[in-house]
Each structure stands twice: as structure tokens, then as C-alpha cells.
A and B are shown apart, each in its own frame.
Chain A
Amino acid sequence: MSLFLERFVNGLADGSIYALLALALVVVFRSTGQLNFAQGEIGTMGAFFVSTLTLTGLPVWLSIGFAMVLGFLVSAGVERIVVRPIEHRNPGAVIVALIGVFLAVNQIVAMIWGVDARSLPSVFPDDADDFVTIGGAPIRIARLGIIGVLIVVLFLLWLMFNKTKVGLAMRAVANNQESSNLVGIRVGSILVVGWGLAGAIGVLAAAMLAPSAGLTGTLMLGPFLLASVAAVLGGLDSPVGAVVGGLIIGLTEAFIVGYVDFLGADMLFPVMLVILLVVLLLRPSGLFGSERVERV
């Protein structure tokens, strides 16, 4: 039982990171209809930036804050400089361009920070004895902290989308860009804000993952793939779906690696792909994706 509980919490913690990243993907997809392939790499870049800042003696939480600003600016820049000009000419080419951005950011990170692994301090107490015992299971505080971060981010996003003018504008733009223009919303600015927000969330996810996973140039490769699966699983246009999908993937991962010996960590991605295929066959719009209610 205690082992189960430990794996459950670890699964939720990893799932929280996938959920954050999936949320970022969904925020972009809802407004622009694009899957931002560079989402993970922008996060990796942010995590390296955190490491540089902490080496100057800045507190970790403040470093993460600055790195999130960097993530916001880089991601917003990608929308403004790469996505928008291309989208007008050939929407399909945006996918290729975003794969290009993925490669570019990946290489820029290697150029600036090298290819050696670094360790990134956790923002939470993360020494060997920093755990609480729940139901006989030792649960690391840093793991609980990550779940807490997801909850806080969800609450802030909910506030923004439902209680602020810019949030309403983002929902309007996601639903109907033409009409958004006609009510006086500057659609371009809203898209930039949406991409920026996603960039910041992606950096946060990377900064949460790096302390346990080790900071390397490929930090976010696996998580990005899993988060994409999570986003599709939950429904690409559903923030709720992204979170549920992320947690499902995290738990599945923890239990497969923990309990199914003959599959183990190596078979993780094939198993995820099978899950994805089954869900898409049964529910093409994902668990929470909208099959739009519309009367004409």
C-alpha cells in the first residue's frame, strides 16, 4: 500500500509537469490552431537560464520568475516573427517552420550552455530527508510542491480566463477571430499574449522537472512528446482535458514503470501510443475536446 501511494504521488507529480506543458500547448492551439513544436525547447532554454541566474546567487524562485519572462518573450516572438507572416501565405508551412524553431532553439541552447549536464536546485526543500510520511509512504516534499504549482497555475489561469478582460478576449479570439476583430479586439496582440503565456508556462514546467531529471539539452524531449499525447488525449482545445490528460499520462507512466516488469521504462512510449490510438478511435476529439454545439 505504501509503495502504491508513493508511486501514485510520483505519478501525479510527473503528471503535473506534463499537464503544465499540455496546458501550454492547448493555450496556443485554441487561439492559433497550431501545435507549437518548440514549446518544450523554449522550456529547456528557460531552465538553463534559471541555472545561470542561480549561479549568480539569485534565489531560485526569483530566477524562475525571470526565466518565465524570457520564455514569454521568446514564445511571443516566435508567434510574431515566424508564425504570423508564414500563416498568411501558407498555413500548412507553419508546422515545418515550428519544427525549424524547435531545432534552432535546441542548437542555441547547446551553443550558449554547452552539452554537459548541469544540476538545477529545486525551489522546494529537496534534501535527502525532506519528505513527509503519509500512510507509511515517504513522500518527497519537492514532489508535493510540483503538484501544488500545478494547482496554483490552474487557479491563476482560471481567474485570468474568466475574470479579466484580456482573458475574455483570449476566449473570444479562440472561438471566432473575425468577430473578435469586429468587436474591436486587437487579435494580433491577443495571439502574442497567448503564445507568450504558453512560453512562460513551458519554462515553469521545465524548471520543475530539471531538479529531478537533470538539466541537459534534451530535458524536455520526452516530456514534450508525453505532453502532446496528454493534450490530444484530453482534447486539443480543452484546458481541463490537458490537465486530466497530463495526470493520466503521469500516473500511467508511474504504474507501468513500477508494476509491469516486462514493459518497464523502455516500453513507455509504445504503450502511450497505444493509449492514444485507442482514445482517438473511440473519441476523435479527445476526452474533453469539444464537439461543438451549434445551431444554424
Chain B
Amino acid sequence: MSSGSFLSVTGLTAGYGPVEVLHGLEFTVGEGEIVVILGANGAGKTTAMRSISGMISRHGSIEFDGADISHAKPDAIVRAGISQVPQGRGTFTDLTVDDNLVAGGYTVKGSISADLERWYDLFPVLAERRDQKAGSLSGGEQQMLAVARAMMNRPKMLLCDEPSLGLAPLITKELFRVLGTLRDDHNMSLLIVEQNAGMALALADRAYVLETGSIVATGTGDELLADDTIKEAYLGGVS
């Protein structure tokens, strides 16, 4: 485990009741890096995300930005600088787009109007719909809203749980372009779990493959893209 890691997860086990889903995960994310965890349905991707953000009880060590957050509660983890874009967007459907973003900035002390304008600039479609209820947005727009909301509390790292789920390929492409922008222009570190291997690996600096609760392969995005077994399992056969 390199000491320069921004997020470093060691021996992470977690599950639901008596069922253990994660069996001692180890992975790291460096500052300003996009790391993708690739996995099929049921591999434990969401459980890993919920462990890091403190939504479920977990064992093992999670260090972030020099602090031990292994046992921290969700709101403390948000305040430490980790913001999650949950699976299925998780927008506040009854609230307006604007209120969603303001709620996203809940932990920020002081004015958030500059943040609002910055993310409305990056997501112009949200600016157009700022007074609309989030539930009336399309899936792609809601995903953009979920990302913008997560950025509102000025995180140092973004966790994205299957952001491409249910989105058309073109929308996914646009979304991943924005995620790349967050890294390149805003020095954001990102941990993305995905089934959609092609686009995710193309974006990733590094990637891990998660199978039934354990990491089975790791490499740079390009290395894994070139790997035949990965192609077979996650890219629908050798292309």
C-alpha cells in the first residue's frame, strides 16, 4: 500500500446480516486519479461504496486524506470530503433542482451561491430546469443532477455507483466526459464502480476487477481493456 494514497482501503469486509458480501477488499485511489472498480451484478460494488460512505457497518481499515474513517458515520464522512453519487441517482424527486443542489451543500458553512453557479455552468440543462421537480427530469438529467449535488459540498473525492445504469450510450458518453472534466479541471479524485467496462476503462487511470466480493485483477485502464478475459467477461466477447 503506497503511503501516497488518498483513499486506502485494507481488509474491508462487509455484508448484510449474516451474509458477508465483501471478503477483505484492498484498493487505493490516488489524488486526482480516476479509479474504476469493474464488477458484474452481485459482485459487491454497491456494498463497497456504501461501506466507504458509512451507510452500512463494515470491518477493516479505510483511510482517507490522512484520517481514519473506518468507523465514521455518514455525515462525518461527507464532512471529511467524500461525496457519493448513489446508484439509481437518489435525487430528491419531490424537491426542485435548485433545492436538490442547496441540500447537496448542506455541510458547507457560508454562502454556496458561487458553487451553484459553477455547477449550473457545467450542467446547463440543470440551469434550465432549476425550478422543476427533480422527479420530472429524464434519467440522464437526474444523473447529472446527482453528480452536481454531490459536488455541492465541495468534496475532495467523488464516489460514483454505476452512473451509467439505465442511460443511453450517448448520455453515458456525455456523463463520463463530465466526470473526466471533474478530474482534469477540478483536480477531483474519483472512484467509480461500473458494469459498463468499455467507457469506464477508457476513462480510468487505474482499475480493479471485483468478483464475488474479492479483487481478482488490477491494472491501468488500458491494460485491462487489452486483457482478453476482461473483454470476454465485461465487453461482450473479444471485439
Which A residues between 144 and 198 are near B, CB-CB below 8 angstroms? 165, 168-169, 171-172, 174-176, 178-186
Nearest CB in chain A: distance from B129 CB, A: 12
Question: Are A182 and B106 interface neighbours, CB within 8 A?
Answer: no
Question: Are A181 and B91 interface neighbours, CB within 8 A?
Answer: no
Which residue in A184, A185, A290, A295 is a CB contact (below 8 Å) of B137?
Answer: A295
Which residue in B74, B137, B149 is a CB contact (below 8 Å) of A181?
Answer: B74
Which residue in A176, A178, A186 is a CB contact (below 8 Å) of B75?
Answer: A186
A187 to B93 alpha-carbon distance, docked (Å)? 17
Nearest CB in chain A: distance from B76 CB, A: 9
Interface range for B: 20 to 34
Residue of B nearest to A169 (CB): B106
Which residue in B55, B90, B99, B152 is a CB contact (below 8 Å) of A176?
Answer: B90
Interface range for A: 20 to 34
A182 to B153 alpha-carbon distance, docked (Å)? 10
Which residue in B55, B103, B142 is a CB contact (below 8 Å) of A183?
Answer: B103
Which residue in B55, B99, B106, B136 is a CB contact (below 8 Å) of A184?
Answer: B106
Name which of A172, A178, A184 has the most chain B CB atoms within 10 A of its CB.
A184
Question: Are A184 and B79 interface neighbours, CB within 8 A?
Answer: yes
Question: Are B93 and A168 interface neighbours, CB within 8 A?
Answer: no
A212 to B137 alpha-carbon distance, docked (Å)? 50
Question: Are A185 and B106 interface neighbours, CB within 8 A?
Answer: yes
Question: Are B94 and A292 interface neighbours, CB within 8 A?
Answer: yes
B119-148 vs A, Cβ < 8 Å mask (1 yes, 0 no): 000000000000001011111001000000
Residues on B with beta carbons closer than 8 Å to the beta carbon of A176: 90-93
Nearest CB in chain A: distance from B190 CB, A: 16
A61 to B150 alpha-carbon distance, docked (Å)? 45
A174 to B99 alpha-carbon distance, docked (Å)? 14
Question: Are B78 and A182 interface neighbours, CB within 8 A?
Answer: yes
Question: Are B103 and A182 interface neighbours, CB within 8 A?
Answer: no
Residue A260 interfacial (CB < 8 Å): no
Residues on A with beta carbons closer than 8 Å to the beta carbon of B152: 183
Nearest CB in chain A: distance from B200 CB, A: 21
Question: Are A293 and B133 interface neighbours, CB within 8 A?
Answer: yes
Which residue in A181, A186, A294, A295 is a CB contact (below 8 Å) of B55?
Answer: A181
Question: Are B153 and A292 interface neighbours, CB within 8 A?
Answer: no
Which residue in B84, B102, B138, B142 is a CB contact (below 8 Å) of A182?
Answer: B84
8 more CB-based (< 8 A) A-B contacts, given A182-B55, A295-B138: A172-B99, A179-B86, A182-B83, A182-B86, A183-B149, A183-B150, A184-B78, A293-B135
* Chain B interface residues toward A at CB < 8 A: 53, 55, 74-75, 78-79, 83-84, 86, 90-95, 99, 102-104, 106-107, 133, 135-139, 142, 149-150, 152-153, 166
11 contacts between A and B (CB under 8 A): A171-B92, A171-B95, A174-B94, A179-B91, A179-B92, A182-B78, A183-B78, A183-B104, A184-B79, A290-B94, A293-B133
